[in-house]
Amino acid sequence: MRDENFLDTILILNKNKVDYWVCHGTLLGLIREGKLIEWDNDIDIGVLKNKKNIKLINQIFKKKGFKRKKKFFSDDGLLTFTREGGREVDINFYELFLNKKVNKKFVICKWYVPKNIFCKIVDAISNASSYDGKFKHIIRNIFF
């Protein structure tokens, strides 16, 4: 299955010399099945977090017709872009750390994950128009 947003994302990042890697479900599909997983609704890309990368990625994706998906929590460790013709593109920002005990570098990604019922409700309401959870009919009809 060919996905134009995946192909364009790779071309955009290569052309603009952004260091990146394929990660999460996208990487799993490519390794395990040799293709994108059919039911995975997004493309997962990893990038080192810095102000230059965040600003550059925003600019270059907008120039190529992608729209940044609005989210309730804006500093959640990733940017999500949408465009007709393919899956959403998640740019996951990883932070570089040095483990002094073993003198090795590693990266981590800090995501926002709703931990309690209040946070889950806030998240569902803030994404009411695209919410696809257990009570989607109630959330979509009550909140707009």
Measure the CA–CA gap between 5 and 83, rounded to whole angstroms: 7
Strand ranges in the chain using DSSP code E only, listed in sequence order: 21-22, 42-48, 67-68, 78-82, 88-99, 104-109
What pLDDT, on the 0 to 100 scale, is given for residue 139? Answer: 73
Residue 63: exposed, middle, or buried by beta-carbon count in 10 A (0-12, 13-18, 19+)? exposed
The model carries a pTM of: 0.73
- The Cβ of residue 61 has, within 10 Å, a number of other Cβ atoms equal to 23
Q: Is the pLDDT of residue 126 over 60?
A: yes
Q: What is the pLDDT of residues 36-51, one digit of tens each?
A: 999 999 999 999 988 8
47 close to 20: Cβ distance less than 8 angstroms: yes
Residue found by looking up tokens 């493309």 in the block: 43
Residue ranges per domain, the chain? 4-112, 114-144
Domain 4-112 classification at class level: alpha beta
List Cα–Cα distances, 87 to 37, 41, 100, 106, 133, in angstroms: 11, 6, 39, 29, 19
φ and ψ of 96, to 5 deg: -90, 130
By the 8 A CB rule, do 35 and 60 touch?
Answer: no
Residue 29: which pLDDT band, with cuts at 50, 70 and 90? very high
